[in-house]
Amino acid sequence: MNVVVFSTQQHDREHLVPALVAAGMTPRLQVERLTADTVHLAHGADVVCVFTNDDLHRRVLDGLADQGVHVVALRCSGYDNLDVDRARERGMRVARVPAYSPNAIAEHAVALLMTLNRRVHIAWDRTRRGDFRLDHLTGFDLVGRPVGVVGTGRIGQAFARIMLGFGCQVAAHDPYPNGELQAAGVEYLELDALLARSDVLSLSCPLTRANRHLINADTLARLPRGAVLINAARGALVDTDAAEAALDSGQLGGLAMDVYEDEASLFFRDWSLSGLPDRRLARLMQRDDVLVTGHQAFLTHEALTNIADTTVSNLTTLHQDPDAQPEGRVV
């Protein structure tokens, strides 16, 4: 089986490629992300393997199907980059990795929160230059702090439990409350009520058409003044312009994000020599009250191993049996 792997990175070479080879597959690695301009690179492939910022909308799916590629393995959990209806129309078979390590994402969200709150990023930059002053490094205790969690799937559950371990007052918003979390002390609230009481708000829900820019000027205004927002879910859940304005006014006290709504053509690349072409993101990254990482929350050995194993299983199953229903099949 010839597999074209788009958006290939170092960790793919270390984890995914050996798993593909061990399964008897022949990987062809492409550093470029899959777009309408690069879909021709799938020529001669039996299947393609893509990541979170690869484009699986109409033109790309048509390009794949026209080349005889009808199997796509997403090595990620989200599939908001997929035109499901068009994939079905073209007879595409698509599967994802529904769960690899929710703890990896949740723990990274906590790392972002702790770093931003205790100004670790600022202190690290200062001390390596020999500056040990404590000016403007004051944070707040998490114990007893009201923390809101939007979305309590596997990742949200893991984050909520960590926050309970810190002694926080944890509340959540999700159309499907989790009984085990409720028993552990998590209160489920409507979104407005959750926003009004959350000194810390963490997003861990999938991106849908309905919740794009869920966090916007109106919802940000409902947070307690000076609240901290953590987003390790999907970038487009947050209206970045509104968040920047809230930071400027002091309504938002801090923003930490592992994702960005316009990250597709930016993340997973080195802009250190040429300069970041996104002026808004560059501007945000100059602020002490903003912390940005480049969509790395999933990046643990455990998660990468799970991703590789599930991806190989999905490719094998879908390629051999068009009617098979492997874990995570989308179409």
Contact 52, 78 (CB under 8 A): yes
Is residue 327 very low, low, confident or very high in pLDDT (cuts 50, 70, 90)?
confident
- Candidates 165, 158, 145, 297; CA nearest to 228 is 145
pLDDT for 208-235, tens place per residue?
999 999 999 999 999 999 999 999 999 9
The pLDDT, as a whole number, for residue 129 is 97
Contact 286, 250 (CB under 8 A): no
Strand order in the sheet with 187-188: 187-188, 169-173, 146-150, 200-203, 227-231, 252-257, 290-292
Is residue 99 very low, low, confident or very high in pLDDT (cuts 50, 70, 90)?
confident
Active-site residue numbers?
234, 263, 295
Give the C-alpha separation, 84 to 94, whole Å: 9
User: What domains can you pick out in the chain, each with its CATH number?
Assistant: 2-100+300-320 (3.40.50.720), 102-292 (3.40.50.720)
- In the block, residue with structure tokens 């998590």: 186
- The gap from C-alpha 9 to its chain's centroid, in whole angstroms, comes to 16
SS3 call for 176: coil
Q: Mean pLDDT, the chain, as a whole number?
A: 97
The pLDDT, as a whole number, for residue 283 is 98
Give the C-alpha separation, 10 to 92, whole Å: 28
252 pLDDT above the threshold of 90: yes
* Beta bridge pairs of residue 309: none
Contact 109, 149 (CB under 8 A): no
* Beta bridge pairs of residue 255: 229, 290
